[in-house]
Amino acid sequence: MDKRGAIIISVRFITIMITIAVVLVFAFTFFLQAQSKTELTAGVVDAQIQQQIERELLETRSKVSLPVYQADLKRGEVFTFGMGIKNYLGLGSKFTVEIDYAKSIETNTGQPINLADYDIDPETMSFDKLGPYVINSTERTIVRIPIMVPLGAPKGTTHIFNVKATCDLPDTGLCNPYGYAQSIRVNTV
């Protein structure tokens, strides 16, 4: 009877170890797939958005263009906004894009939400500064602005970011901000 009991225990132990190994392999595979999708999404600005930016910068005297300023994202997703900058300064200059988290609100009611209550640091949702980008006179560039919704973010919330371009000239009235400051809204669905 002792030999039979030992065999049963060893078979159960082996079964449990195989089950754990299979679960770990699936979790690792899922993590790698999610990682690769995030990397692909984070660096791409849609071709249609690029065309809108180019058209606006060419047809108007706009210094900056942010045609898509709102996105609906699930928790853990990244969306890359595109912002165009055209240099009207008359000389080459270095430009940076500053992104400041403004606030989070309930989408339906507009009531403010404190992300610290959900153990979320808003600074992890975006970069605070992108660049510098050297843009020669009358040339333009498109800057990718990735924004991520953390996994713990509550559904039904809107996160608002202020975005502005600045340049390296000492005239702060001309370069801070360069053009108009913009707002980006990310809705958690």
Backbone angles phi, psi at 139, to 5 degrees: -95, 170
Q: What is the pLDDT of residues 56-88, one digit of tens each?
A: 998 988 999 999 899 999 999 999 999 999 999
Residue 107's identity, in one-letter code, is T
**Contact yes or no for 83/182 (Cβ under 8 A):** yes
Q: Could you give the CA distance from residue 170 to residue 172 in angstroms, rounded to a whole number? A: 6
Buried b (16+ CB within 10 A) or exposed e, 12-49: eeeeeeeeeeeeeeeeeeeeeeeeeeeeeeeeebeeeb
**Strand 70-73 relative to strand 178-188, pairing:** parallel
The reported pLDDT for the residue numbered 187 is: 94
Ranges of each domain in the chain: 43-188
Instruction: Quickly state the pLDDT bin for 28 (edges 50, 70, 90).
Output: confident
Whole-angstrom CA distances from 139 to 28, 88, 89, 135, 184 are 45, 8, 10, 6, 24
Instruction: In whole angstroms, give the CA distance from residue 181 to residue 80.
Output: 18
**% pLDDT > 90, the chain:** 50
Q: Do residues 19 and 12 make contact, with C-beta atoms less than 8 angstroms apart? A: no
- 160 in Cβ contact with 183 (< 8 Å): yes
CATH number of the domain located at residue range(s) 43-188 in this protein? 2.60.40.10
**Average pLDDT value for residue range 127-142:** 91
Task: Check pLDDT > 60 for residue 96.
Answer: yes
The pLDDT value recorded for residue 48 is 86
116 alpha-carbon distance from chain centroid: 19
Residue 128 has pLDDT above 70, yes or no: yes
